[in-house]
């Protein structure tokens, strides 16, 4: 299977972590999502990640790709029935953190005279609310087996710290402790974002 991704994308990282957890070897093709014609041919939305199956079928987005890898992989499922409503809530928070961190980055990359201070504040406040909500649930993250909510939160915080800063840690001691502890997990260590 071919994964179209990039070394910095948090959404591609989700797929890479799930594949690693299941011992699935992916043929990773790094592309620039803004300029790649090949990506445009594969995915009309022109976003990474994209997974091309061995039979030629094309999957997007990261939710669909991760669920497929989990179904076909050999490891324990990352989408268990137990505690489903709770892990789905944390998965949603992790996904929203990732989306907001990416939107904030796009704002920062606009020419200075086209940036919206209001939007940057809006995104920053949303991220702070999300990290505070996750801090309140950090004990559950620590106690649970590794699941898709952990993957989503790791990718969200990973992007936030890679592209912005670690200021959130000051108000979130329990989430910080869990996040630091999980960095040694092989699937997490092997997928750190890089430029
Ligand atoms: N909902 C999508 C989001 C994917 C996404 O936003 N990917 C970014 C890279 S982190 C991208 O391809 N951006 C290119 C663009 O915005 O044109 C998913 O979960 O896969």
Query: Same structural domain for residues 104 and 152?
Result: yes
CATH number, domain of 98, equals 1.20.1050.10
CA angle at residue 41 from 160 to 15, to 5 degrees? Answer: 35
CA of 5 to the centre of ligand 1 (A): 10
pLDDT band at 148 (very low <50, low <70, confident <90, very high): very high
What's the confidence (pLDDT) of residue 189? 98
Q: Find the mean pLDDT for residues 105-119.
A: 92
Query: Same structural domain for residues 145 and 177?
Result: yes
Establish if 195 belongs to a structural domain: no
Query: Same structural domain for residues 99 and 56?
Result: no
Query: Same structural domain for residues 66 and 17?
Result: yes
In this predicted structure, the answer to whether residue 154 has a pLDDT above a threshold of 90 is: yes
pLDDT band at 2 (very low <50, low <70, confident <90, very high): very high
pLDDT above 70 coverage of the chain, percent: 100
Query: Same structural domain for residues 90 and 144?
Result: yes
Q: Determine the residue of 35, 44, 45, 47 to mutate for testing ligand 1's pocket, defined as the one with the most ligand atoms within 8 A of the Cβ atom.
A: 47
Tokens of 91: 């998965």
Query: Same structural domain for residues 50 and 98?
Result: no
pLDDT above 90 coverage of the chain, percent: 97
Query: Same structural domain for residues 23 and 107?
Result: no
What's the confidence (pLDDT) of residue 133? 98
Instruction: Check if 48 has its Cβ closer than 6 Å to any atom of ligand 1.
Output: yes
Query: Same structural domain for residues 148 and 53?
Result: no
User: Using CA positions, which residue lies closest to atom 12 of ligand 1?
Assistant: 47
Distance CA 52, CA 114 (A): 37
Tell me, yes or no, if the pTM score tops 0.95: yes
Of 45, 72, 99, the one marking the end of a domain is 72
Using CA of residue 63, residue 174, residue 164, residue 13, what is the dihedral sign? negative
**Which burial class, exposed, middle or buried, applies to 116 when counting CB atoms under 10 A from its CB (0-12, 13-18, 19+)?**
exposed
- Domains identified in the chain, total number: 2
Please write the tens of the pLDDT for every residue from 53-101: 999 999 999 999 999 999 999 899 999 999 999 999 999 999 999 999 9
What mean pLDDT, rounded, does the chain reach?
Answer: 97
Establish if 96 belongs to a structural domain: yes
Q: How many CA atoms lie within 13 A of 157 on its CB side?
A: 26
Whose CA is closest to 188, among 141, 151, 143?
151
For residue 122, the enclosing domain spans: 84-189
In this predicted structure, the answer to whether residue 117 has a pLDDT above a threshold of 90 is: no
Of 72, 101, 119, the one marking the end of a domain is 72
Which is more confidently placed, 95 or 116?
95
Query: Same structural domain for residues 62 and 89?
Result: no
Instruction: Check if 9 has its Cβ closer than 6 Å to any atom of ligand 1.
Output: yes
Distance set, CA 68 to CA 14, 52, 56, 61, 152 (Å)? 12, 11, 15, 11, 16
What's the confidence (pLDDT) of residue 124? 94
Q: Find the mean pLDDT for residues 169-174.
A: 98
What's the confidence (pLDDT) of residue 123? 95
């Amino acid at each position: 299977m071919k994964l179209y991704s990039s070394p910095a994308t948090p959404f591609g990282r989700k797929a890479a972590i799930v594949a690693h957890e299941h011992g699935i070897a992916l043929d990773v093709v790094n592309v620039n999502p803004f300029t790649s014609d090949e990506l445009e041919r594969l995915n009309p939305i022109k976003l990474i990640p994209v997974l091309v199956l061995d039979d030629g079928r094309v999957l997007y987005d990261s939710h669909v790709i991760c669920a497929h890898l989990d179904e076909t992989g050999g490891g324990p499922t990352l989408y268990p029935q137990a505690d489903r409503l709770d892990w789905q809530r944390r998965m949603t928070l992790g996904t929203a953190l990732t989306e907001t961190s990416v939107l904030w980055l796009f704002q920062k990359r606009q020419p200075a005279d086209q940036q919206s201070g209001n939007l940057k504040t809006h995104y920053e406040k949303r991220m702070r609310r999300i990290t505070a909500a996750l801090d309140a649930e950090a004990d559950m993250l620590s106690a649970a087996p590794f699941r898709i909510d952990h993957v989503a939160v790791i990718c969200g915080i990973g992007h936030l710290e890679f592209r912005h800063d670690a200021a959130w840690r000051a108000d979130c001691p329990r989430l910080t402790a869990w996040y630091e502890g999980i960095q040694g997990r092989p699937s997490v260590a092997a997928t750190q974002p890089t430029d």
